[in-house]
Amino acid sequence: GCSNVLHGTCLVFPFVSFPVGGEQISAIGRGICVLLGISLEDTQKELEHMVRKILNLRVFEDESGKHWSKSVMDKQYEVLCISQFTLQCVLKGNKPDFHLAMPSEQAEGFYNGFLEQLRKAYRPELVKA
């Protein structure tokens, strides 16, 4: 199962499109896609830590082709954020259980605060949701 802390999974893509029901909701060019799972116990401090980690995670090549050298900030790439409560699952037998996930009413404000901090720490026009 998963532990009950803020989970962020970063995926590196040359292009990301996020369709819902056949309609494209959001898309970015080169950059990272962040799937964010918010738990009941998450705090502002963990949110700030996640913002720093996402922006400084070295997952891109440098100019000489050296892997794991540059961050999304270094490259001025885009960030697409998607709230993903399923990252907070634990298995109970053969069934997923999401009791550790923050309830959606509460998580929405937390997620919006996360986006706001990410935009303040980076370039707002490069952060999509």
Is 9 catalytic? The answer is no
Per annotation, catalytic residue among 86, 104, 106, 112? 86
Q: How many CB atoms lie within 10 A of CB 113?
A: 13
Assign 106 to helix, strand or coil.
helix
Torsional class of 108: left (φ above 0), alpha (ψ -120 to 50), beta (otherwise): alpha
Q: Are 4 and 100 in contact (CB under 8 A)?
A: yes
Active site residues: 86
